[in-house]
């Protein structure tokens, strides 16, 4: 995962592995993707590091932040070549506001920790950072030393995805789908429902996903002697749940492409990742 820390304290606790989470919020990731998107959808690792504000690709901070983009399934690729996924491209260069929000929600759902805390938390009521952090530590395995960072990343990501807002006191309020469901059992693939928003009169606002058909999904990977192509062409709107499945398929195809990738050249690539 993005951040994999061990609990501080006695030796028995230090040996206990803790759950990771994206250290880059969707708000920050979106800004970085939009900047990189001005120059295309494929970049060298070094170039992407500059868009993230890093001067080197060898630092632990850069690798942690790059891992966050992978966990949210915003980028793919290994070595010195990185490419935005279809979700990442829609965020970088959106065709409209609704499609961008749908892509942001799909990215949010790609983090199991974000999705679990969202599903398990009350909707429409102010939530303080302390209880959110406590639940993350006790129920999800987040390291106590990282709980504040986790809550910050979760909150900023939920707001960026249109799944939360802050009240006048600065407390987080999670928004609910129109049907009022909030659990994994009530929503297919843990996604917001596709329904148009209704007028709001109270603190609980409705979340909707777009009814417009997203662009055709098309992604290729070069392999030894050919390529792998993944494409979806649809004449009807794609539900938000599709993007969660698409992310899983892309991750599997990326692993397959890595197995079938062309043999490396004799000269090592600069900036290659471990």
Tell me what pLDDT residue 57 has.
87
Asked whether the whole model's pTM tops 0.75, one would answer: no
* Assigned token pair, 270: 């600069």
Say yes or no: 46 and 162 in one domain.
yes
**Contact present, 178 and 206 (Cβ < 8 Å):** yes
Domain edge (last residue) among 207, 232, 247: 207
Give the total number of structural domains in the chain: 2
* DSSP type of residue 269: P
Q: Does residue 111 sit within a domain?
A: yes
At 206 the pLDDT is: 41
Secondary structure (3-state) at 154: helix
Residues 236, 203 share a domain: no
Range of the domain at 239: 217-259
Residue 71: inside a domain, yes or no?
Answer: yes
State the distance between the two ends of the chain, measured CA to CA, in whole angstroms: 15
Q: What is the pLDDT, as a whole number, of residue 219?
A: 67
- Does residue 75 share a domain with residue 141? yes
Residues 125, 144, single domain; the answer is yes
pLDDT score, position 237: 54
DSSP one-letter code for 264: P
- What six digits make up the tokens of 223? 């392999």
What is residue 153's predicted lDDT score, i.e. its pLDDT?
95
Asked if the structure places residue 264 within a domain, the reply is: no
Tokens of 181: 């469901």
- Which of these three, 207, 234, 267, is where a domain ends? 207
DSSP 11-54: HHHHTSB-----SS-HHHHHHHHHHHHTT-SEEEHHHHHHHTT-
Structure tokens at 148: 């504040």
User: Are 112 and 245 within one domain?
Assistant: no
Mean pLDDT by 10 residues, the chain (274 residues): 42 50 93 94 92 88 91 89 94 92 93 92 92 91 92 95 93 70 36 38 40 52 76 63 70 79 51 40
Instruction: Outline where DSSP puts E strands in the chain.
Output: 42-44, 75-76, 81-84, 126-127, 164-166, 172-174, 176-177, 206-207, 217-223, 226-232
Gyration radius (Cα) of the chain, Å: 19
3-to-22, 24, 81, 154, 158 alpha-carbon distances in Å: 7, 10, 23, 14, 19
């Amino acid at each position: 995962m993005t951040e994999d820390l061990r609990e501080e304290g006695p030796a028995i606790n230090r040996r206990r592995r803790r759950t990771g989470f994206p250290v880059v919020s969707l708000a920050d990731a979106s800004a970085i993707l939009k900047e990189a998107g001005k120059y295309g959808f494929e970049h060298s690792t070094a170039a992407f590091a500059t868009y993230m504000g890093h001067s080197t690709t060898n630092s632990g901070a850069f690798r942690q932040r790059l891992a966050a983009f992978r966990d949210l399934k915003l980028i793919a690729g290994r070595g010195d070549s990185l490419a935005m996924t279809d979700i990442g491209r829609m965020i970088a260069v959106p065709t409209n506001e609704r499609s961008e929000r749908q892509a942001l929600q799909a990215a949010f759902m790609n983090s199991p920790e974000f999705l679990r805390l969202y599903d398990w938390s009350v909707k429409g009521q102010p939530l303080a950072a302390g209880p959110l952090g406590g639940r993350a530590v006790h129920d999800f395995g987040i390291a106590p030393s990282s709980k504040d960072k986790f809550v910050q990343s979760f909150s900023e990501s939920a707001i960026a995805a249109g799944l939360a807002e802050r009240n006048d006191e600065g407390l987080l309020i999670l928004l609910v789908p129109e049907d009022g469901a909030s659990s994994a059992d009530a929503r297919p693939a843990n996604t917001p429902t596709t329904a148009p928003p209704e007028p709001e009169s109270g603190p609980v606002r409705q979340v909707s996903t777009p009814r417009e058909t997203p662009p055709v999904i098309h992604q290729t990977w070069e392999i030894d002697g050919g390529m792998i192509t993944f494409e979806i062409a649809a004449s009807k709107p794609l539900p938000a749940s599709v993007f969660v499945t698409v992310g899983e398929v892309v991750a599997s195809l990326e692993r397959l492409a890595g197995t079938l990738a062309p043999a490396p050249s004799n000269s090592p690539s600069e900036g290659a990742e471990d």
